[in-house]
Amino acid sequence: MNAWTKIASIAPLLCLQIAAQAQPVAYPAKGQSSQQQQKDQSACVSWAKSKTGVDPATAAAAAPPPSGPAVGGGERVSGAARGAAGGAVIGAIAGNAGKGAAIGAATGTMVGGVRARQNRRNAEASAQAQNQNAMAAFNQAYSACMSGRGYTTQ
């Protein structure tokens, strides 16, 4: 995988992450001073944290699900076993069970690796969706608090 392919695959995820964690903008609709606005924002962030249980600072640093060689080993092993069994049966019919089992095991390992990658992608997408939902709840609570203090939020 070249650098451009990596960048192209990561860029949409970064944009979603930034968009999901952007706090709503508050406009002082009743002429509040910048010092008052800072106090209100701080109070509303604390209130939104307590109501939703979401801390935007830790949500931004949430670790993605584990990946790498340790993840997906089970899918590859079970795929190899199924492939070897099926290949042995087909090979026995064709007259060479050992060769059939070897081909089946190799094919099963490849299929298992595909399953492992798909499972990892699904876990990452699920974690990302949960993070976005949590941030949406936080932003809604923050906006409600700021609106109650006389700010227009978007």
Domain limits at 54?
26-58+69-153
Residues of the chain with pLDDT > 90, as a percent, come to: 38
For residue 5, being part of any structural domain is answered with no
Q: Is the residue at 113 inside a domain?
A: yes
When pLDDT is cut at 50, 70 and 90, the band that residue 66 belongs to is low
* Any domain includes 19: no
Number of domains observed in the structure of the chain: 1
Q: Compute and round to an integer the Cα radius of gyration of the chain.
A: 26
Alpha carbon of 118 to those of 20, 102, 114, 122: distances in Å? Answer: 24, 25, 6, 6
Is 106 a domain residue?
yes
- Residue 14 within a domain: no
- 3-36: pLDDT as tens digits: 555 555 555 544 444 444 588 999 999 999 999 9
111 located within any domain = yes
The answer to whether position 64 is within a domain reads no
Per-residue pLDDT tens for 91-123? 556 566 566 656 666 666 666 677 778 888 899
| CB-count burial class (<10 Å; 0-12, 13-18, 19+) for 132 | middle
Environment class of 150 (CB within 10 Å of its CB; exposed 0-12, middle 13-18, buried 19+): middle
